[in-house]
Amino acid sequence: MQIRIENDVLERYPEAEIGYLVARVSVKKSDPYVEGLKQGLAKSVQERGINATNFVVHPHLAIWRTIYEEDFQVNPKTFRSSVEALLRRVVTGKEMWSISNVVDLYNCCSILSLMPMGGYDLNKVSRDITIRYAKEGETFQGLGIRLPIETNPEHIVYADDKRLICWLWNHKDAEETCIDENTEYVIFFIDSAKKVGSVQEALDQLVENLLKIEAVPLESGILSRAAPQATINIPKSVTSGPL
């Protein structure tokens, strides 16, 4: 399996880095360790001086707002990066979404690192994954959305060989490749458009926390201008998705 960033994305964002991690997981409705992480998020964010009045101007979030508004030509107050959507809930006193131990854990890690993260069921992914610009007339079927969204060639997406699996770089994931109770192997991604924060530190933190819920990290790395593609040795039990 290949994962790659296309050249035109790197030309527009030469400092972009995409961390990736493949892990074997056991998906459960909840986990005491993850619930503890969720309960500690508000304090962690507060200790870093982040609150409801200033979080949108934090450098880690502001860069995504700029990209969404100026490059993607969407309203960043309506279409938010995944990390802003999560952090907004914490600083406004709302509870974190409870989806599963694995999804809740990487959402917590996203908030702690202030970097967008996503995770996809490798058995649902169709062959290779590419970070690229959307194609004219391409549509996206997102989680919780009834009708497909028509994309714009200015939008950056994650795509496998069959469909778009994430839209607006990290705004929303696809329904078809989401993690569920039957998921055994996941590929996680961490997005950085510019040198704001450390992708490697975020990967290390994700690995450390996955180990606490008995997940097994298998391989990881960082895609960048110097290394725009990588080969993933997917487990034999993974079907490489529908053809």
Q: Does pLDDT of 243 surpass 70? A: no
C-alpha span between 191 and 222 (Å, rounded): 10
Sheet containing 2-5: order of strands = 172-173, 164-167, 156-159, 129-133, 2-5, 229-231
Q: What is the pLDDT of residue 137?
A: 87
Q: What is the pLDDT of residue 59?
A: 95
Q: Does pLDDT of 239 surpass 90? A: no
User: Which tokens in the block code for residue 25?
Assistant: 């997981």
Q: For 13-24, write each residue's pLDDT tens digit.
A: 999 999 999 999
Q: Does pLDDT of 61 surpass 80? A: yes
DSSP states along 190-203: EEESSSSS-HHHHH
C-alpha span between 202 and 167 (Å, rounded): 22
Q: For 165-179, write each residue's pLDDT tens digit.
A: 999 999 999 999 999
Q: For 109-143, write each residue's pLDDT tens digit.
A: 999 999 999 999 999 999 999 999 999 889 998 98
Could you identify the residue written with the tokens 């994430």? 166
Q: For 181-238, write each residue's pLDDT tens digit.
A: 999 999 999 999 998 889 999 999 999 999 999 999 999 999 999 999 999 987 777 7
Mean pLDDT of the region 132-160: 92
C-alpha span between 139 and 152 (Å, rounded): 9
Domains within the chain, CATH numbers bracketed: 2-231 (3.50.40.10)
Q: Does pLDDT of 242 surpass 60? A: no
Q: Which residue, 2, 7, 1, 3, is CA-closest to 133? A: 7
Q: Evaluate whether 101 touches 28 at the Cβ level (below 8 Å).
A: yes
Longest dimension (CA), the chain: 49
Q: What is the mean pLDDT of the chain?
A: 94
Q: Does pLDDT of 76 surpass 90? A: yes
State the burial class of residue 84 (Cβ atoms within 10 Å of its Cβ: 0-12, 13-18, 19+).
buried
Three-state SS for 141? coil
